[in-house]
Amino acid sequence: MTKLIYYQDQYKTEIDAKVVKVEGNKILLDKTIFIPQTNTEPGDFGKVNDVKIAGSKREEANVWHIIPQYNPFKIGDKVKLRLDWKYRLNAMKLHSALHLLAGVFDSKFKERAIAGVVKPKNAYLVFKNEISDEKVKQAIEQANKDIKSGLEIKTYWDEKKKGFRWCAIKDYSPIPCGGLHIKNTKEIKEITLETKEIEDGKQKITIAVK
Ligand SMILES: [Zn+2]
């Protein structure tokens, strides 16, 4: 079972770890700061010693790190992990921006996002119904006000459902989430609208952060 350091401290960029299993081009460590890729999140990059990982993959309680070519690691090796922080910080900002904007749409217009996806350079929300340009403009304005006022972003584990995690921003409805967020909306700096389009009959709103 890998100890998930990124859930304890999402700002940690370096740790020492130990190789506990090796399988082909994959290694398993006793702990990690690299969050795995999912359908909605890009996942982290970084280095194990001097080797750049090609990504990481979650398998139940384990996180495997993928070594792109020749795998120099063996069981028992002590290694240093270094996170690609610029990439991670941007992902946390985009991710938190989606939570905030989804919260605004819900509380202001009773429009609930049905999906949220973070890409390396931008992120988008999907809504079942079309939303007017004016509403989108107002929602982004409100979110940017919230960014300026510096709202706390909290994550916590569900008391009853094991492994279920929540993310809450001030009075907005908490959203179930296994991702990583910054601690305060101030860190987002500003949300900008990239595109607003109808895709497969649904409203897709793509944003970027400063
Ligand atoms: Zn989240």
User: 19-39: per-residue pLDDT in tens?
Assistant: 999 999 999 999 999 999 988
Per-block mean pLDDT, blocks of 10 residues, the chain (210 long): 95 98 96 93 94 93 93 97 97 97 97 95 97 98 98 95 92 93 97 97 97
- State the CATH class of domain 87-209: alpha beta
Helix H or strand E segment including 203: strand 202-209
Q: Do domains 3-83 and 87-209 have the same CATH topology?
A: no
Q: What is the pLDDT of residue 40?
A: 86
User: 71-89: per-residue pLDDT in tens?
Assistant: 999 999 999 999 999 999 9
CA of 98 to the centre of ligand 1 (A): 8
CA of 89 to the centre of ligand 1 (A): 13
**How big is the chain, counted in residues?**
210
CA of 180 to the centre of ligand 1 (A): 6
pTM to 2 decimal places: 0.94
Can you tell me which residue has the tokens 């910054």? 182
192 forms beta bridges with 208
Q: Do residues 98 and 116 make contact, with C-beta atoms less than 8 angstroms apart?
A: yes
What is the rounded distance in angstroms from the CA atom of residue 140 to the CA atom of residue 146? 10
Q: Domains of the chain: which residue ranges?
A: 3-83, 87-209
CA of 154 to the centre of ligand 1 (A): 10
CA of 24 to the centre of ligand 1 (A): 32
CA of 40 to the centre of ligand 1 (A): 10
CA of 70 to the centre of ligand 1 (A): 34
**Parallel, antiparallel or unpaired: strands 55-59 and 113-118:** unpaired
3-83: in CATH 3.90.245.10: no
User: 147-167: per-residue pLDDT in tens?
Assistant: 999 999 999 999 999 889 999
CA of 166 to the centre of ligand 1 (A): 8
